[in-house]
A and B are shown apart, each in its own frame.
Chain A
Amino acid sequence: MEDSIDILLAALVVWWQILYVNWSSQESPDPQMASNPEAVFIFLSFLKKESGEFHFDILLASITSLFLFRFIRMLRLTRMFGPMISMVEKMVYDLGTFLIIWVIQLFTLSAIAVLVFGELDAYKKPVDALLIMFETAMGNWDLSIYDDLHIGPIYGKIFHIFAIILNLIVLVNLVIAILADTYSFLASRSLGLYYDGVISRIPAYKFDNKYGGLIFIAPPFNLLVLPLVPFYLLIENEVTLKSFNIIVCKILFVPYATIYTCVFIVFNLVMAPFGYLVAIFNKFKMLCSSRVMKAFKRSTGTLVVDLLVFTICGPVMLLCSQVTDLFYFVLHLYSWKLKKLNDQGKICLITIEDLIVVETVTKAELARLYKENGGVDLSVPVAKFVVQVRDKMDVPMALTNLVFGPHVSLKELPDPLEKIKRYNLIKKVLSRQSYKSEEGAKPSLNLKLLEYHLKELRVKIDCTMIGLMSDKKIKGGKQSLPTFEDDERDDPEI
Chain B
Amino acid sequence: MSSKVRRKPRMAVFKFASCDGCQLSLLDAEDELLGVARALDIAYFPEASSAMLKGPYDIGLVEGSITTHHDAQRIQDVRRRCKTLITIGACATAGGIQALRNWKDVDEFIRVVYATPKYINTLKLSTPIAEHVPVDFELRGCPINKHQLIELITATLAGRKPNVPTYSVCLECKRKGNVCIAVAQGVACIGPVTQAGCGALCPSFDRGCYGCYGPMESSNTESLSHQLHILGQNNAEITRAFRSFNAWAWQFRKAGEESERT
The answer to whether A and B assemble together is no
Q: Which residues of B contact A (CB under 8 A)?
A: none
